[in-house]
A = this chain, B = another copy of it.
Amino acid sequence: MNLTVYLAGQIHDNWREDVKQLTSQKNLSITFVSPQTNHDRSDHVGEAILGTQPSDYYKDDAASAINNLRTQVLLQKSDVVLALFGEKYKQWNTAMDASIAIALGKPVIIVRPESLIHPLKELSNKANVTVETLEQAVEVFAYIFE
């Protein structure tokens, strides 16, 4: 059995590499997909493909249209979604990816620090499992294969 897991969350550091390494240590057969993780590329892809936009608002809308298309393709191919929340950033697109996965019937694991329990409580209650570290999330992956 192979699983495909979508890694939703911020793209400011290399946390997805940690997940892959932890998974690799456990020899789990998982294919990871994710949003564009090059932050500059993600922000500028609209203008890169569609040309200069009239203002930041339109630049952002053009980029998000292409980012959303990418996510829609990859999320539909996934068996599980891991959504990471942290102290920094608004992360509404992470909340959106997790919520749409829930509505599509896809199992969702949320990873968030203790400090975010309160503001994430409704989404956390809708998700299947909420943990505090990536190690714990990978243990949940491993449990599916036991």
Residues of A within 8 A of B (CB): 1, 3, 31, 33, 36, 38, 41, 45, 48-50, 54-58, 60-61, 63-74, 76-77, 79-80, 85, 89-93, 95-96, 98-100, 102-105, 107, 109, 114, 116-126, 128-129, 131, 136, 139-140, 143-144, 146
Max chain B C-beta neighbours (<10 A), residue from A54, A64, A72, A96? A96
Stoichiometry, copies per complex: 8
- Nearest CB in chain B to that of A71: its residue: B122
Name 18 A/B residue pairs within 8 A (Cβ), A-sorted: A49-B136, A50-B131, A63-B121, A64-B124, A65-B125, A66-B140, A67-B122, A68-B126, A69-B140, A70-B143, A70-B144, A74-B144, A91-B119, A92-B119, A95-B95, A95-B99, A95-B123, A96-B98
Q: List, in ascending order, chain B residues with CB within 8 A of A120's CB.
A: 90, 92
